[in-house]
Amino acid sequence: MKTRRDFSFSKTKELADKHRHIIYHTIAIVTVCIWGTTFVSTKTLINAGLSPVEVLLYRFILAYTCIWTIAHKRLFADTIKDEIMLSLGGLCGGSLYFIAENTALSITLASNVSLLICTTPIFTFLLCKICYKDQLSRKMIYGSLTALLGVGMVVFNGSMVLKIKPLGDMLTLVAALLWAIYSLILRQLSHKYSNLFITRKIFFYSIMSLIVYFMFFPLETKWQTLAQPTVYANLLFLGIVASMLCYIMWNAVIKVLGTNKTSNYIYVTPLVTFLTSAIFLSEPMTVISTIGAALILFGVYTAAK
C-alpha cells in the first residue's frame, strides 16, 4: 500500500520528468531553427567560390576539432559491430546525406527538395515499425500528416507548381531515408555510449568518407577564398554551431524523447526557412503559406503529445 510519502515522491518525479521533456522539446525546436537558417550561410559560401561538398568538409573538420578538445579520451567503441554502426552513422547522417541533398538541389527545384526531405519522419516511422515493432498512436500519425500538409502549403507558398525531376527527386528521397537510418543507429547506440563520443565518431567517419570522395573529385579550394572574413565567419557558424552543437543537441533529444517524436520536428525546418526568407529576403507571405505554417505547428504539437 502506497503511503502519502510514496505518493508525494511519485508526483514529484512525474513533474520532474515532465519538466525534463519540455526542456528537450525546446532543444529540438532550437536545433531545427538553426538548421533552417543554414541555407543562407551555405549559399553565401557557394557564391564565394566553394563547392557544396567543400563546405561540408570544412564544417565537419571544424566540428570534429572542437568536439575533440572536450571528448578525446575514448577512441573506439566496445565492439567491432558498434564501430561499424558508428561508421554507418557517419555516412547516413553526414557525408552521404548532404551529398545526396546538395546534388538534388542542383538537379531539381528547391521546393521539391524542401517538400520531399520532410518525408524523413515517415521513413523513420516505417523503419521503427519494421525493426522494433513500434506502435504509433493516432495522434502521432494525424499530427505527422497534418504537418506534412502544412509543409506542402509553405513550400509552394500559393503557387502549386510541382515539376517532376526524377533523378533529383529520387536523390532527395534517398537523403530522407539516410537520415531515418541515422536516427535508428542513434536509437541503438545512445544508451551504450555518451552523446559526445557518438557525435565525435559521426564527424570522424563523415570526414574519412569525404576524403575518399575527394580522391575522385579533387579539392580545388583557393586558400585566399578561405581567408575572406565572410567565408570563415560562415564556416565557423556552420562548423561550431550548426554542426557540433546542433548534432550534440539532436542526438541528446533522440536519447530522451525517442526517435519518432524527435523526427517530427524536421517538419519545422521549411517553416523556419520560409520565415527567414520573408524577413531577410523580403519574399511574400501569402494566406496559404500562413495557414500552412499554422498546420505545421499544430501537427508537430499534436504528434509530440
The grid coordinates of residue 301 equal 504539437
More confident call, 149 vs 233? 233
pLDDT at 9: 47
Distance CA 74, CA 64 (A): 14
pLDDT at 17 > cutoff 70:
no
pLDDT at 271: 77
Query: Mean pLDDT in the chain?
Result: 82
Q: CA-based angle 52:54:58, to the nearest 5?
A: 120
For residue range 194-215, what is the model confidence (pLDDT) as tens digits? 999 999 999 999 999 999 988 8
For residue range 53-68, what is the model confidence (pLDDT) as tens digits? 888 999 999 999 999 9
Mean pLDDT of 87-115: 83
Distance CA 276, CA 282 (A): 9
pLDDT band at 145 (very low <50, low <70, confident <90, very high): confident
Distance CA 59, CA 51 (A): 12
Distance CA 210, CA 90 (A): 10
Buried (b) or exposed (e) across 237-251, using 16+ Cβ within 10 A? bbbbbbbbbbbbbbb
Mean pLDDT of 153-174: 69
pLDDT band at 132 (very low <50, low <70, confident <90, very high): confident
**Concatenated DSSP letters of 80-142:** HHHHHHHHHHHIIIIIHHHHHHHHHHHHS-HHHHHHHGGGHHHHHHHHHHHHH-PPPPHHHHH
Q: CA-based angle 103:104:105, to the nearest 5?
A: 90
Longest dimension (CA), the chain: 74
Share of the chain above pLDDT 70, in %: 84
pLDDT band at 4 (very low <50, low <70, confident <90, very high): low
pLDDT at 284: 64
Distance CA 170, CA 52 (A): 19
pLDDT at 292 > cutoff 50:
yes
pLDDT at 217: 84
Mean pLDDT of 31-60: 85
For residue range 234-244, what is the model confidence (pLDDT) as tens digits? 999 999 999 99
- The pTM score is 0.82
134 CB-contact burial (10 Å; exposed 0-12 / middle 13-18 / buried 19+): middle
Least confident range of 81-85, 88-92, 251-255, 292-296: 292-296
User: What is the 3-class SS of 152-220, one letter each residue?
Assistant: HHHHHCCCCCCCCCHHHHHHHHHHHHHHHHHHHHHHHHCCCCCHHHHHHHHHHHHHHHHHHHHHHCCCC
